[in-house]
Amino acid sequence: MPIVVNDLSYQYGTPGNTQFALEHVSFTVEEGAFLGIAGHTGSGKSTLVQHLNGLIPSAAGHVTVDGHDLGDKAERKLARSLVGMVFQYPEYQLFAETVYDDVAFGPKNLKLSEDEIRERVLTALQRVGLDPDTFKDKSPFELSGGEKRRAALAGVLAMRPKYLVLDEPMAGLDPNGRSAILKILDQLRREDGCTILMISHSMEDLARHATRMIVLDRGKIAFDDTPEQVFEHAEELFALGLSVPQMTYLSMLLRQKGFDAPSVYNDETALLEWIEGRIRHA
């Protein structure tokens, strides 16, 4: 069953002076998808994802998770338990004395048995590539930036969410740290069947990893399609304050100069072959 967002609106401000952060937003996230969420700063991305586990109660419209309405008091708890949230810079929320205790914090609140907690913590640490024997007794503050981020992610995974929502999970990480996170997300989706919803400003990452993309513009959905289709609209994306993968951009520049270069978004081979063919026959 999917996450269904139906006619969701959200306003903020003072009476008589309100702005829409979200305006009549509707979409469905199918189970097993890797949904990329893009949009300029202030487009409503973070506001939107905070509705997905009821952190912001929906004032107008509905969000249901596997059929459970987040607006319904009785169903909210169940719906929330299905959705794991990883916020911007989640490592700032690490607090416990050891990595083990930090990752165990959520499962402990579920009143699980010690064995079950232990199993969940160790599995989560392995999932994020932190060897339990090396890391479980360390202080979270001894870890490197990339390791801290992964420890924070493990804390969310230990809750065994069916849907994992991440708000710019790679911001501030170096290239190795970025690719480590992306690899973990791909594995979670393929091997554990976890559905991923990821906010990112990196068009390259969205092009390579998302199965579907939503582009927000001033609180409304501008695109809801496959990355391949979305990146066909390069000029419109630039107009929305976004960009496109460099290979898409290069192809766009060549087309603007009158060449019929093929459109590419996550594999440049077709473009390179076209260029090579043109030169060989020139």
With tokens 């007794």, the residue in question is 137
Nearer to another protein, 62 or 201 (CB): 201
Q: Is 179 helix (H, G, I), strand (E, B) or coil?
A: helix
CB of 209 to another protein, least distance (A): 15
Interaction of residue 41 with another protein, rule CB under 8 A? yes
69-108 residues in contact with another protein (CB under 8 A) are: 88-89, 92
Report strand pairing: 34-39 vs 83-86. unpaired
**Number of residues forming the site for another protein (CB under 8 A):** 50
Between vectors from CA 178 to CA 86 and to CA 176, what angle results, nearest 5°? 140
Interaction of residue 204 with another protein, rule CB under 8 A? yes
Distance CA 19, CA 17 (A): 7
Interaction of residue 146 with another protein, rule CB under 8 A? yes
* Beta-bridge mates of residue 64: 4, 69
Q: Kindly state the helix (H) or strand (E) to which residue 196 belongs, with its residue range.
A: strand 195-199
Nearer to another protein, 79 or 206 (CB): 206
Nearer to another protein, 194 or 271 (CB): 271
239-278 residues in contact with another protein (CB under 8 A) are: 241-243, 245-247, 249-250, 253-254, 257, 259, 268, 272-273, 275-276, 278
Q: Which residues, including other chains, have CB under 8 Å from residue 89's CB and lie 6 or more apart?
A: 171, 172
Among residues 132, 127, 120, the alpha carbon closest in space to that of 194 is found at 127
Positions that interact with another protein (CB under 8 A) = 12-13, 19, 39-43, 45-46, 88-89, 92, 141-142, 144-146, 168, 171-177, 201, 203-204, 238, 241-243, 245-247, 249-250, 253-254, 257, 259, 268, 272-273, 275-276, 278-279, 282
